[in-house]
């Protein structure tokens, strides 16, 4: 695995195991509403939308307009999408998002 080992510990392992036990979207809403603030959930969701739009080659201005994310956030997500642990690429592929031609 190429993820940052600095985040790995027993508590994080247990969190991720708990997430993997969720069976559907309703259970996700229930769990995440209890464990995160609405702002945290919205922020994570926004990051995924930015990554999706970057993956399909949308411009920063298009992404900023569609998601409300700052160019700094878009740039950071772009960096992780291209040079990170591969998590964004993995989940976007599993969700069926492919790069489009510009």
At 10-49, the pLDDT tens digits run 999 999 999 999 999 999 999 999 999 999 999 999 999 9
Write the Ramachandran bin of 36: left for phi over 0, alpha for psi from -120 to 50, otherwise beta. beta
The predicted-structure confidence for 57-97, as pLDDT tens digits, reads as follows: 999 999 999 999 999 999 999 999 999 999 999 999 999 98
Fold of 38-102: 1.10.1270
- Spatial separation of the C-alpha atoms in residues 8 and 43, rounded to whole Å: 22
CA distance 65 to 9: 38
The 8-class DSSP code of residue 36 comes to: S
pLDDT band for position 102 (cuts 50, 70, 90): very low
Q: Does residue 31 contact residue 39 with C-beta atoms inside 8 Å?
A: no
Q: Where are the domains of the chain?
A: 7-36, 38-102
């Amino acid at each position: 695995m190429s993820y940052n080992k600095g985040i790995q510990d027993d508590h994080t392992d247990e969190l991720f195991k708990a997430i993997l036990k969720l069976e559907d979207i309703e259970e996700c809403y229930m769990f995440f509403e209890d464990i995160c603030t609405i702002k945290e959930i919205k922020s994570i969701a926004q990051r995924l939308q930015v990554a999706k739009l970057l993956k399909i080659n949308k411009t920063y201005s298009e992404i900023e307009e569609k998601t409300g994310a700052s160019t700094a956030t878009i740039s950071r997500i772009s960096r992780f999408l291209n040079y990170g642990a591969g998590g964004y690429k993995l989940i976007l592929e599993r969700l069926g998002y492919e790069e489009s031609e510009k």
